Structure 1
Amino acid sequence: MDLAAVSEELAEIEGQIADIFRALSNGFQKLEKIKDVNRQSRQLEELTDKMRECKRLIKEFDTELKETESRNDANTRKMLNEKKQSMIKELNSYVALKKHNLENNKRVDLFDGPSEGFGEENVLLASSMTNQQLMDRGNQMMDETDQSIDRAKKVVQDTVDVGTETAAALKAQTEQMSRIVNELDSIHFSIQKASKLVKEIGRQVATDKCIMALLFLIVIGVIAIIIVKIVNPNNKDIRDIPGLAPPAMNRRLLWTPN
């Protein structure tokens, strides 16, 4: 059955996995001909990277398989599950082959560990495992992957929430700073206006002081003249000042009428 008729995504993933399997087959054949230990190690590292990529694609294949499961009939679902199990078996065979090469070379297995491959218990030849064992182990690994994805999603959501709160706080602070700037502009304008008013008041006060000083001098002059008149009433210099000249003497007539 053509996978493209079921899902284009499944067909594309299956094609990528097939390409990796061909590369793994050619790579292990090339590895048998390499005699240098360092070159063997580098070749094994390259093959390990390809197996990691193949594992990731098989997980994507299983995820897409679950999404399209409701649209397929029983025969199609059976065929797709058998296809997935076949790919898992083939990958495990290459994992076992790699481990065998590492043991022969007495090197540490770079593909072992909790986050690599399908686990030590799954590194078995396909002939020594049943379909049910492969399916159970595969489902367990998929569940663990889903849990890891859920945790990652939670971390991302928490990060988004923190970013949203930070953006809101920054927006509020920006608005507050804008209001402060506007208030400072108003204060600056008021200070300029008050400065002009003070200058005008200063000029007016200076003018008033000049007038008062002039009046004061006039009053002082008048007082001085009055004092001089009192002290020396015959002073001719002040005879012509109205109100300050001495009184005119009585004139007698040279003749008197009869």
Structure 2
Amino acid sequence: MNSLSSISEELAEIDGQVTDVLRALSNGFQKLDKIKDASRQSRQLEELTEKMKECKRLIKEFDQGIKDLGYKSNPDSDKLLSERKQSMIKELNSFVALKKKYASNLDNKRIDLFDGPGEGLAEDNMLLASSMTNQELIGEGHRMMDETDDAIERSKKVVQDTINVGTETAATLKGQTEQMSRIVNDLDSIHFSMKKASKLVKQLGRQIATDRAIMAMLFLIVIGVVAIIIVKIVNPQNKDIRDIPGLGPPVQNRRLLWNS
């Protein structure tokens, strides 16, 4: 360590971190031997795997630090740093090999755990069957058949309920579709009626305008006739106004041409 400190404080610090991680790995694998529970062994192995990843990262930093220093002119320093790096890699590889060994043992234990309960259950069933009489075996078979029939009936009921719900949903959708179609038809009828009413209003407006013009002309004619009557009554001798039957002065005796 002192020699590394004399070369580089940064490399000495990384070397100390690697040493601490390797020591923790050694202690962790020693504890792993004492753990009998497979799940606890698996958790402990995961923790050790994380520490190995950290150690690998630190060794890469150490190697990069050696490259950055570039002590090519000092063979002793190069040799010391190279030997220390190789020692780190060797020790880490030994822990990697241990990890693979323990992982393989755990996989075998998992297979045994999965196989064990099934075999025990089969043996229990065989023991139960062997202890029954023929009548009990027949009764147990009938009971299992009845349970199976009940399960089938429940499944049929679920399927029928599903079919009924689907039928009701389809009928509801059909009714809503028909209702929407009627609404669309009603809207079309209303639109047509509004257009027809608009045309009738326009025609009525034109007719009213024509009737008003006729009434205005008739009113003017009546006013003119009334005015002539009034003038004729007030001034019967006015020769500018033509005679109106019944209102003009008495007709003078006219001589016929042949009487002359």
For the superposition of Structure 1 and Structure 2, which TM-score range results when normalised by the shorter chain? 0.3 to 0.5
With normalisation by structure 1, the TM-score equals: 0.45
Bigger CA radius of gyration: 2
* Structure in which a larger fraction of residues adopt helix: 2
TM-score normalised to structure 2 length? 0.44
